[in-house]
Each structure stands twice: as C-alpha cells, then as structure tokens.
C-alpha cells in the first residue's frame, strides 16, 4: 500500500456508500477526512500517492454539513441569560446535548438583561472549537436591550435601553466587553443606531434587525450602514403592509448595496410562523433563509414553568408563553425538527433544507470557507442522516461525537 507519510502521519478515513451534499447537490461520492479537515482525493492519490487507512460504510446515508444555530437561548434547564455560579457547566451541558440535534456550532444567545448580567456572563462565553465535549461556540448573540418597547415580545421592559449621546460608548458600558460577541440584535429606528451599526460592523460583529417598528427605509438605511441579518422574521416586527412592508420588505428591496446579501432567521417550528408565511419568505428570498431554534431553557424538558432571562415562561406542548399571558417566548424546537418542518412546509429540496441550517448561517457569519460546507480543506463537521432527515450520527473535526442508539429498536 502506498505510504501516506510524505505529508502527514495522521490516519486518513474514507466514508463510503453515501450521498454527500456538495455544490448544492447530493452527490454519490466518498468523503475523505484527515486531521479534522476534508481532503481532496485527487490530490491525495496523485500528489501524495496516498490511500485510506480506515474505510467506513455509511449504508447509503446522506452526509451533510453540521448545523449552525445562531440563536439559542439555552436548553435542558440552562438559561444563558442567567448569571449563575455554574454558568460554564451549563453551557457545557447544552453544547453536549445539542450534538444529538445535529448542531456542531452555535451562538449562545442572551435576551435583554440588566448590565450586571452581561458583565458576569459574557466573560464566561469563550469562542471554542467543538469536539467530543460538545458543539463549538462561535461567539455570543446579544438580542437587546437596544430594542423597541412596542415590539419587546418576551423581553423585560424595565431592562430596555435607548442610545444616548455617546451611543457606542453606551453599548460598550452596557455589555462590558465585545470580545466574544458575534451578533447584536437592535431596532434600527432608534436614534443614533446608524453610528452603532457602523462601529459594530467595523469590529466584525454581525448586526441584526429585530424587535422593531422600523419602516422599510429605516431598515434599508441600516443595511447600507452594515446590518446583514433579520432576527426571527415576522416575529416582533411590524406586520407586512403593502404600502410600507417594514423590515419584511428587505427580502425584495432594490436598495441593498451591490454584492451584499441580507439574511433572515426563521423559527420553523410550526408555531412561530404559519407554513404559508414560511413559504412566502422562502420563495421571495431563498438564499437568505437561516433556520434558528430560538430555543429556551425548557427545550428538552417536560411542560411546566421555566425561565427566559428575567421572565418566567410556561411550556404548553410546543407553545411557550410568558407566564400568565399569550406572548410567545422562544421555542422548544430542536434544529433537526426545524429542518424537517421547513422541508415539509415549503416542499423545498432536501439540499435546500439542509443548507438553510448549515451553509446560510456560515455565510452570514463569514465562516463559509471552513464551516457549513463539505468543500475540500473545510472543517470536517458533518452529519449522517437518513432520507427523512433524522440525524443518525454527528461528527466534529472528523471524529464521531454522537450516534443514534439503535440497540432498543
């Protein structure tokens, strides 16, 4: 057998008998992995004269990039917006548990909170690679407190803030640090928001528009200043109106700067958006759709009372409300459930459904050269799924980190 030693001593694993999602198509090819990266087999054969050390039969599974959840508030009893002594063990628990949902990277999300919470929690959210310990952390998503009172949704009104004279300094003082921050959701109609959007964008932080009563021109102006995302489209914003479609109008706006794409999150759980609304958004702007769970601490737990930051929420089936109201407050849906529901509701292809949870969030965050695809040299974070899009196994950096237990079936 030819030696692989010329380039690396690391073993080469060949995944065979599978359909790989590559270039927007399921292709019947093998997947080659070494040292946590996806290999180009042609280079391996012709340049290195190498071959596989290990072959794994995938039994005709689909192999797709790992899912990336850019809006998740917690799960399994852990609330990312609560400053607890064991916060680190909480985040570790969630990152471990969501491997079974196919999530290989995520952005822990904090809802509107007092400054003291940000100051305590944010230093404990370190960006880190995924592995057997759990999904990778890409950085925090701060949803609020610079949002609209009218569209606060489940966010506590007494913690909402506006931008004062030193707008960006206000934001820094509130959060304490932006070191591990990946996304900030704000309402673009707020005075001085433009300078804040410009400053955040300059630092490589994604600005998302949400919990807002902005009209379309205010939303377009925010995009021209650097905003690239919409937080849970249709939820906590003005409803579409034909004379001024508001933030929703960004999906078909002709005022988006050349070469830029606006992405939008959707909670595809069958509760937050009617399937018809999901279809309208998808048909209007398919390449911008990013599936998010917006999951709260109650995900994975029995119905009953749980927390979302400063609020008490009640879970009733798949519905989650602020206790004593009918105000929706996050979801208890898992990412794999959202992918299946999206495909069923829109009738889109399997490839499209999978890319909405992998490629699109990676493009949003500008990490598509290493995550969200199975291109050569990208990170070997991937899933094995059956034809009904149920996750059978999860891999991070080419190592199996979770597998469906079929012993009892």
**130 annotated ligand binder:** no
For the CA atoms of 350, 352, 356, 360, the dihedral, rounded to the nearest 10 degrees, stands at: 140
**225 annotated ligand binder:** no
Q: Which residue has the tokens 């909405």?
A: 356
**243 annotated ligand binder:** yes
Which letter, b or e, does each residue of 244-268 get, where b requires 16 or more Cβ atoms within 10 Å of its Cβ? ebbbbbbbebeebeeeeebbbbbbb
| DSSP label at residue 281 | H
Would residue 294 show up in a list of annotated catalytic residues for this protein? Answer: yes
**211 annotated ligand binder:** yes
**329 annotated ligand binder:** yes
Which letter, b or e, does each residue of 103-137 get, where b requires 16 or more Cβ atoms within 10 Å of its Cβ? bbbbbbbbbbbbeebbbbbbebbeeeebbeebbbb
**360 annotated ligand binder:** no
Q: CA-CA distance, 76 to 299, in Å (whole number)?
A: 6
What is the three-class DSSP state of 45? helix
Give the active site residue among 79, 294, 336, 379: 294
Q: Which residue has the tokens 């065979």?
A: 16
Name the nearest CA neighbour of 263 among 68, 64, 80, 99: 68
Q: CA-CA distance, 52 to 29, in Å (whole number)?
A: 15
Asked whether 48 and 60 are in contact (CB, 8 A), the reply is: no
Residue 59: Cβ within 10 Å count: 11
Three-point CA angle 269, 59, 340, nearest 5° = 10
Q: CA-CA distance, 44 to 18, in Å (whole number)?
A: 20
The tokens for 76 are: 């399994």
**154 annotated ligand binder:** yes
| DSSP label at residue 322 | E
- C-alpha R_g of the chain: 21
Which residues are CB-neighbours of 408 under 8 A, at least 6 positions away?
none
**283 annotated ligand binder:** no
**28 annotated ligand binder:** no
HEC readout, 143-187: ECCCCCCCCCCCCCHHHCCCCCCCHHHHHHHHHCCCCCEEEEEEC
Binding site members for Zn(2+): 143, 211, 232
Binding site members for substrate: 154, 235-236, 243, 272, 328-330
Binding site members: 143, 154, 211, 232, 235-236, 243, 272, 328-330
Which residues are identified as catalytic? Answer: 294
């Amino acid at each position: 057998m030819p030696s692989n030693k010329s380039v690396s001593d690391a073993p080469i694993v060949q995944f065979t008998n599978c359909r790989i999602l590559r270039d927007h198509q399921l292709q019947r090819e093998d997947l080659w992995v070494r040292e946590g990266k996806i290999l180009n087999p042609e280079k391996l054969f012709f340049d290195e004269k190498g071959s596989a050390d290990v072959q794994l039969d995938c039994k005709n599974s689909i192999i797709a990039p790992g899912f990336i959840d850019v809006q998740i508030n917690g799960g399994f009893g852990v609330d990312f917006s609560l400053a607890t002594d064991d916060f680190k063990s909480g985040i570790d628990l969630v990152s471990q548990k969501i491997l079974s949902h196919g999530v290989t990277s995520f952005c822990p999300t904090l809802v509107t909170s007092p400054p003291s919470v940000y100051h305590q929690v944010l230093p404990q959210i370190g960006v880190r690679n995924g592995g057997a310990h759990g999904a990778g952390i890409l950085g925090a998503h701060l949803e609020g407190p610079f949002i609209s009172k009218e569209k606060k949704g489940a966010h506590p009104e007494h913690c909402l803030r506006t931008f004062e004279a030193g707008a960006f300094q206000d934001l820094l003082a509130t959060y304490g640090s932006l070191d591990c921050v990946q996304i900030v959701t704000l309402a673009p109609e707020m005075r001085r928001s433009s300078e804040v959007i410009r400053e955040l964008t300059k630092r490589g932080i994604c600005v998302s528009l949400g919990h807002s009563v902005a009209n379309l021109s205010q939303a377009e102006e925010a995009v021209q200043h650097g905003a690239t995302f919409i937080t849970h489209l249709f939820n906590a914003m003005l409803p579409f109106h034909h004379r001024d479609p508001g933030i929703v109008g960004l999906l078909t706006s002709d005022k988006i700067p050349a070469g830029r794409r606006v992405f939008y999150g959707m909670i595809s759980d069958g509760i937050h958006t009617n399937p018809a609304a999901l279809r309208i958004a998808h048909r209007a702007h398919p390449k911008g759709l990013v599936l998010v769970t917006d999951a709260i601490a109650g995900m994975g737990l029995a119905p009953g009372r749980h927390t979302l930051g400063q609020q008490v929420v009640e879970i009733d089936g798949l519905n989650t409300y602020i206790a004593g109201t009918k105000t929706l407050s996050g979801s208890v849906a898992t990412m794999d459930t959202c992918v299946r529901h999206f495909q069923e509701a829109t009738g889109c292809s399997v490839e499209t459904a999978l890319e909405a949870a992998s490629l699109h969030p990676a493009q949003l965050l500008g990490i598509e050269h290493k995550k969200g695809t199975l291109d050569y040299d990208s990170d070997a974070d991937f899933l094995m799924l059956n034809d009904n899009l149920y996750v059978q196994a999860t891999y991070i950096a080419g190592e199996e980190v979770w597998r469906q237990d079929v012993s009892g079936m």
